[in-house]
Structure 1
Amino acid sequence: MPSRISLSPRRSVRLSLLAALATTLVTGSLVLAGQNGGPSTPTTNTAATAPAPATSRHAGQWQATPVPVEKGDLTAVAALSDTQAWAVGYRLNSATSLKAIALRWDGKTWTQESTLPDNSFPQALAVRSAGDIWTVGSASAHWDGTKWTAYQLDNDPAGHVVPDAVTTTSDGKAWTVGRAMGRSVKDGVPAVQSWDGKAWHRQALPDVGKGELSGITAVAPNDIWAVGAAYAPDENTKQSALLLHFDGKNWRRITAPGPRTTHNWLGAVTALSANDIWAVGGSTTGSTERPFAVHWNGNTWTTATTPDVADGRLRAVGTTATGELWALGGKGAAPVALRWNGQRNQWEETTAPDLVVRSFTTIPHSADLWATGIARNGDLVPTITRLKG
């Protein structure tokens, strides 16, 4: 996100309610949902075959949609269709009180569907169906269509597990990645856990030293990628991007491309197919940050050309049904949006949503996008914007 960069976009809401909000204003927070993680298929962050990336064209305008929360934050968004989308975050009830909430889009308006269990602090979202939704943050919670149920993550000998991203796979499992840490973030090590229908189970990982995972995407139950950062072990080395792959039995580290003269990290990943995977993040020299992106073609990971955008850390990546490949991020109140230009074989800057970006997602069978966060002006004003493709 110095020899150890604060990269995770979701680590903010960990220690206390007010500290969480204060930190998110500085670092931002997002989920891909897919993410993340912005996934190629936002319902699960699982791969879906998509058209070849389209060439860049003039982008449309992002339009804000009213939300039923006057003060707080919206940290993650995911969609099943044009008439079914969910967002999670927090309502600020008082100077010392937050309540985790879930909003639902019905094709016309956003309404509050439910409140989440106490201390769940949702930071990432995976939607398999209207009755099968996972969030993770300081804990994990599952929505069955009627109620949320909190589930404890498995114990980790490295310390308290802080998940940063979540996805689901076609075999019914859920997967979450983040870090396990003892006394401080500096002590963190990458962590992966899987849900088998009854409980979360810690996954054995290769020893990569100190670090963390911030994004995950699944092509299939036996083809899962997780991305993040391996911290610099000393002042004479650089932080490096971290790539881990699961083949159905074991996790192994894959060498990440990128210059060894800069600090590199990855914050999100999405799969268009088994042979077409994108991961995005940032690269920094001194105090200067710029976007960083890598691509998997089925055989090797390679770096992609990105524009020299100030504070251009990327936090989410995903592709629309029409093949438009997008990456969003930014630092604080300086949002950044990039689109892939397939003809020029490079990422190009385009119109960014007018908000502090926490999360963005594509919409299945649509060229549209959703982005969530807080307004760049005002005091913790939750914001959801939509781009009509």
Structure 2
Amino acid sequence: MRKRLLAMVACLVVQGCAAEPTPAVGSEPPPVPASEPSPTPPDEDVPLSARWKLVPGLPDDHIWERGLYDVSAASPDRAWAAGYKGWEDGVEMTLRHWDGSRWRRLPAGHNGTFAAVDADGPANVWAVGGGAYDEPVALHWDGRSWRRHRSPIKARDVAVDGGRVVLISSSQVVQGYGGRFTRKLVANELRAVSAGAGHTWIAGTRRGQPMVWHGSARGFEQAEMPTVAGGGTLVAVWQNGPSDVWAVGQAGESPLVVRWDGAFWKRVALPPGWRGELTSVTASGPRDVWIASLRPVGTARHVVLLHWDGRTWTRERSPSPGELTRAVVERIPGTSELWLATSIVNGDSESIVFYRRR
């Protein structure tokens, strides 16, 4: 997932944010920047970072039959997380808000599951999902109250771009202004969306190959993607700007990272031997990109985070009280901090654990 255009001021903080030179039309794409070669340690030897701190959640987060699917931050003291609690016919949507000191439960009032949440400011938040009998649910926070809007699709992801919001299901894209939606694209195997500055980027799969669809004022078009031997899929996407977009997923048993530089989509080289199921991507700029992955450490899956500083990749582990089922990493605007929302195995279900990297 993910999500919005970074403010220009954030780019000024990061050294070297000048755009890369654009190749001449018809020229070969420049080589993909690769990490400096280095031996890859076993998973157990990936360092456990002390910068990740457990953040208390809601009082019942430790109870089974509850999980999170997404988290979105608008500032250090404003964030929202979406998911579910309950089992089978008793599943309820859950929504929570970080107020700068603790997580607080918000009244959701719907059966089903929130699949995604996105915010581009403290007064512009959308949460989407599906209620009972596949009933679409789309809620908007305007800084004063939550309002439900009629969505033509049961959305699996959402991206906010000022007064514009983009919702995707597995096969459709709709765009909304003021709660009125129009269909923009019909495709197969759509997984994640990011939007900002009038641009929309959707990641997924087409005919077994990783695919990105780009939307602008001229409409939507398929990107020209590098061919992946054996096929693959993209599951998350993040836009730093119209000329810097990252998408992550899998190519067979191997992790897959691709990047748009304003001229070409290119596969990004990862450290030799690196493995893991990539689940989300976030960034504070082109030289501060974070990717969350689930990797086996011993006999259970834990979170290993991959960081790109513009030149090299580094890895670190976050603490974990148990085996993880999901992990979503989210940058905190105006800081170098991150949220990590995880769901962990609890019996034959799961529970919720939050971390923050300071």
TM range (shorter): 0.7 to 0.9
Counterpart for residue 380 of structure 1:
350
Q: Which amino acid aligns with 1:175?
A: V
Match of 2:173 among 181, 185, 192: 192
Classify 1:53/1:375 alpha carbon distance in 2 versus 1 (closer, same or farther; 3 Å). farther
Contact 2:160-2:195 within 8 A present in 1 as well:
yes
Classify 1:321/1:249 alpha carbon distance in 2 versus 1 (closer, same or farther; 3 Å). closer
Counterpart for residue 32 of structure 1:
none
Separation (CA, whole Å) in 1 of partners of 2:307 and 2:258: 14
Classify 1:152/1:353 alpha carbon distance in 2 versus 1 (closer, same or farther; 3 Å). farther
Structure with bigger RCO (C-alpha 8 Å, 6+ apart): 1
Q: How does 1:45-124 map to 2 (within 5 A)?
A: 45-49=4-8, 50=11, 51=14, 59-68=49-58, 69-70=60-61, 71=63, 72-92=66-86, 96-112=89-105, 114-119=106-111, 121-124=113-116
Deviation for aligned residue 1:294: 0.6
Q: Percent identity?
A: 23
Separation (CA, whole Å) in 1 of partners of 2:114 and 2:289: 26
Counterpart for residue 230 of structure 2:
262
Deviation for aligned residue 1:323: 4.3
Deviation for aligned residue 1:315: 2.1
Match of 1:150 among 138, 148, 151: 148
Contact 1:116-1:148 within 8 A present in 2 as well:
no
Counterpart for residue 316 of structure 2:
350
Whether 1:362 and 2:352 are equivalent positions in the alignment is no
Unaligned runs of 5+ residues in structure 1 are: 1-35, 40-44, 155-160, 180-189, 233-238
Separation (CA, whole Å) in 2 of partners of 1:309 and 1:323: 20
Counterpart for residue 213 of structure 1:
190
Q: How does 1:209-358 map to 2 (within 5 A)?
A: 211-221=188-198, 223-230=199-206, 232=207, 239-259=208-228, 261-284=229-252, 289-307=253-271, 308-310=273-275, 312-320=276-284, 323-330=287-294, 333-344=301-312, 347-352=313-318, 354=320, 355-358=324-327
Look at both structures and tell me which one has the larger radius of gyration over its CA atoms: 2
Deviation for aligned residue 1:302: 0.6
Classify 1:168/1:309 alpha carbon distance in 2 versus 1 (closer, same or farther; 3 Å). same
Contact 1:317-1:326 within 8 A present in 2 as well:
yes
Q: Secondary structure at the match of 1:67?
A: coil
Counterpart for residue 18 of structure 1:
none
Unaligned runs of 5+ residues in structure 2 are: 18-34, 37-46, 131-135
Which runs of at least 4 in structure 1 moved beyond 6 Å after TM superposition? Answer: 53-56
Q: Which amino acid aligns with 2:211?
A: L
Q: Which amino acid aligns with 1:297?
A: D
Separation (CA, whole Å) in 1 of partners of 2:158 and 2:88: 30
Classify 1:47/1:108 alpha carbon distance in 2 versus 1 (closer, same or farther; 3 Å). closer
1:41-69 CA-partner distances (Å, limit 9, x unpaired): xxxx224443258999x854322211113
**Cα RMSD (Å) of the superposition?**
2.8
- Normalization by structure 2: what TM-score? 0.77
